[in-house]
Amino acid sequence: MRVLVLEDDGELCREVTDGLRSAGFAVDLAQSIADADFKIAINRYDCLVVDRGLPDGDGLDLVAGARTAGHTVPALMLTGRDGLHDRLAGFEHGADDYLTKPFALPELVMRVRALCRRREQPTASRITVADIDIDLMRRRVTRGGIMLALTPKEFAVLELMATRRGSVVTRTDLIECCWDEMAEPASNVVDAVVAKLRRKLGEPSVIETVRGTGFLLGGPA
């Protein structure tokens, strides 16, 4: 899942991005409305986390503009403006959620995760492939009842494949959804993570490589 964070406070920006990345999200950063608007135009995001008071205006203008342009990506306003009229204005301009500062990072992570799920087709909270159980809510994976230790990136890759089970997930899909703008699409980073994921999931393998295209989890649903 890929998130864009629009925040001009350096310390807070690091706290938010580090927290989201630790939870398995790919995170891009923007410090102005103009920068965020450009990134929304060229990338696919599962959620926006938007501050209001920015050097070039109010973050609400970004959300309103995105809605006018036809973008349906969920948006969470993260701001110190906590008055009722501020929250109402947020929803009126197209925001999907509103969280005021100071905030608890675990709550932000859960809110962002909930909004990201709206981006995809509704899915069960658990997905089973062969004897592998994928708990999407608790971020846990077991095989034959044994807990597997996956990194956040490995889980993100498995989650995308599981939610699109029966369809080929291309390397481009994985880069766009599971890596942020610092990734190098030309490198073998995707294949390396998939190879590690295969080893951890064990035999028989449930990830099929579709030559020249991408990967398929568990065959047709």
Write the pLDDT tens digit of every residue in 28-57: 999 999 999 999 998 889 999 999 989 999
Asked if 156 and 24 count as a contact pair (C-beta separation under 8 A), the reply is: yes
pLDDT score, position 108: 95
Q: Dig out the tokens for 75 from the structure.
A: 């948006």
Q: 48-52, 92-96, 104-108, 162-166: which range is least confident on average?
A: 162-166
pTM (two decimals): 0.69
Q: Where are the domains of the chain?
A: 2-119, 126-217
Task: Check if the beta carbon of residue 17 is closer than 8 Å to that of residue 27.
Answer: yes
pLDDT at 168 over 60: yes
The pLDDT tens digits for 172-201 are: 889 888 888 776 666 688 899 999 999 999
Query: Cα separations (Å) of 61 from 90, 113, 151, 161?
Result: 10, 23, 37, 35
Decide if pLDDT at 132 tops 60: yes
Tell me the residue type at 179.
W
Range 126-217 classified under CATH 3.40.50.300 = no
Q: What is the mean pLDDT of the chain?
A: 88
Which pLDDT value is given to residue 186?
A: 61
The domain covering 2-119 belongs, at the CATH homologous superfamily level, to Response regulator (3.40.50.2300)
